[in-house]
Amino acid sequence: MKVFTSLFLSLLLFSCDYNTQQVATEEPVDQKWTWETERFEKAVNQVRAGRDLTPKTWPNGAKVAVLLSFDVDNETVAWWDGEPTISDLSRGEYGSRVALRRVVDLLEKHNVPASFFIPALSLHLAPQMADEIKRLPRHEFAVHGWIHERNTRVPADKEREMVINAKKMLTELTGETPVGYRAPSWNFSAATPAIIQEVGFLYESSMMSDDRPYELVINGKPSGIVELPVEWILDDAPLLNPRGNNYANPRELLEVLKDEFDVAYDEGTMFLMTMHPHISGHRSRIVALEELIRYIQSKDKVWFATHQEAAEYVKAQAGLQ
Ligand SMILES: [Zn+2]
């Protein structure tokens, strides 16, 4: 009886707590219909898509550029939603301990280059990853935040400091200077556009205005920064989360990715995928990724490139300053 009473009390407390939370998090009445159109314009003009930078032809007469990126988040992403459990952290450690090697082995086997966007903390926790990645003759290291921070919750001066320090730490730990930036979880704050301009990145890869490369326009002005756009459809994280609501079978997801590639190929543009070693480096996913690489390599005139190589190429072809 005692058990039931305590269970009942727990349920009662839980439901009270739930109701309190509901009330506490309720937003004030939305009054966006009262806004002047200028307010919406200002919001969208923070970052807009500028000129299309698709070249007439890719190197060696290729029809399509294929850019594979791996965001090496490992443990850092576990802090995204608050304090992680020790189990969550072990799931991240799988990235540096097992998955990265499996990813690099696969790329090496098929002679495919890739770009590795690494939060500074992730590389600090497992610095041996730099040498693992360098086994690929054509590899790239790029900036992916300091601790995979939520930019929209960080004061502008702190965000700036973290981007600068992340670039510095990556340079120290890899011996190479990164030229690309990808915001943690693609999350730009109002300060991010000015920060990436100040730091002088060649390219950025977090926006979704196109599936072709384009020039970023910041507050109405062409920035000279190449955008290599991403898409959630081409990201392993939401669809391959076994605890998520939309879990996809890797072999079924492979069919979607083939369709995405086929249209990119027909249109003569770009196919860019975002993956994570601690997600795509699991055994059943590596099988699907290998099948995708084989499929793409079965086509003529495909240019596999790092993001840096693609950004440099489109920038030169477009005569972008
Ligand atoms: Zn990330």
- The verdict on residue 187 lying in a domain is yes
Span from the CA of 77 to the centroid of ligand 1 (angstroms): 7
Three-class SS of residue 200? coil
- The verdict on residue 11 lying in a domain is no
- The verdict on residue 65 lying in a domain is yes
- Please, are residues 94 and 122 in contact by the beta-carbon 8 Å criterion? no
pLDDT of residue 34: 92
- The verdict on residue 23 lying in a domain is no
Span from the CA of 278 to the centroid of ligand 1 (angstroms): 11
pLDDT of residue 30: 78
Span from the CA of 118 to the centroid of ligand 1 (angstroms): 8
* Phi-psi group of 200: left, alpha or beta (phi > 0 → left; psi -120 to 50 → alpha; rest → beta): left
- The verdict on residue 58 lying in a domain is yes
pLDDT of residue 248: 84
Span from the CA of 214 to the centroid of ligand 1 (angstroms): 22
Span from the CA of 72 to the centroid of ligand 1 (angstroms): 7
**Amino acid making up residue 318:** A
- If residue 209 lies in a helix (H) or strand (E), which one and from where to where? none
Span from the CA of 255 to the centroid of ligand 1 (angstroms): 24
Burial class from Cβ neighbours inside 10 Å (0-12, 13-18, 19+) for residue 202 reads middle
Span from the CA of 321 to the centroid of ligand 1 (angstroms): 29
- Please, are residues 299 and 265 in contact by the beta-carbon 8 Å criterion? yes
- How far apart (Å, rounded) are the C-alpha atoms in residues 99 and 74? 10
Q: ∠ at Cα 146 (242, 75), nearest 5°? A: 30
Span from the CA of 311 to the centroid of ligand 1 (angstroms): 20
Helices (H), 80-190: 86-94, 100-109, 120-125, 129-134, 156-174
pLDDT of residue 221: 97
- How far apart (Å, rounded) are the C-alpha atoms in residues 287 and 131? 24
Number of domains in the chain: 1
- What confidence tens digit (pLDDT) does each residue in 92-105 have? 999 999 999 999 99
Span from the CA of 71 to the centroid of ligand 1 (angstroms): 5
- For the entire predicted model, the pTM comes to 0.89
Span from the CA of 145 to the centroid of ligand 1 (angstroms): 8
Q: How far is CA 134 from CA 4, 122, 140, 143, 145, in A?
A: 60, 16, 9, 16, 21
pLDDT of residue 21: 38
- Please, are residues 119 and 144 in contact by the beta-carbon 8 Å criterion? yes
Span from the CA of 51 to the centroid of ligand 1 (angstroms): 27
What is the CB neighbour count within 10 angstroms for residue 93? 16
User: Which CATH number fits the domain that encloses residue 50?
Assistant: 3.20.20.370
- The verdict on residue 27 lying in a domain is no
- For residue 117, the enclosing domain spans 40-318
Span from the CA of 27 to the centroid of ligand 1 (angstroms): 29
Span from the CA of 8 to the centroid of ligand 1 (angstroms): 41
pLDDT of residue 220: 96
Span from the CA of 288 to the centroid of ligand 1 (angstroms): 21
Span from the CA of 56 to the centroid of ligand 1 (angstroms): 32
- Please, are residues 130 and 308 in contact by the beta-carbon 8 Å criterion? no
- How far apart (Å, rounded) are the C-alpha atoms in residues 196 and 210? 20
- The verdict on residue 252 lying in a domain is yes
Low-confidence ranges of the chain (pLDDT < 50): 1-24
- Please, are residues 181 and 201 in contact by the beta-carbon 8 Å criterion? yes
Span from the CA of 273 to the centroid of ligand 1 (angstroms): 13
Span from the CA of 34 to the centroid of ligand 1 (angstroms): 36
Span from the CA of 29 to the centroid of ligand 1 (angstroms): 33
pLDDT of residue 242: 79
* Site of tokens 């690489």: 293
- Please, are residues 52 and 210 in contact by the beta-carbon 8 Å criterion? yes
Span from the CA of 162 to the centroid of ligand 1 (angstroms): 15
Span from the CA of 148 to the centroid of ligand 1 (angstroms): 6
Helix, strand and coil percent figures for the chain, each rounded to 5: 55, 15, 30
Give the bridge partners for 140, in sequence order. Answer: 115
Span from the CA of 144 to the centroid of ligand 1 (angstroms): 7
- The verdict on residue 7 lying in a domain is no
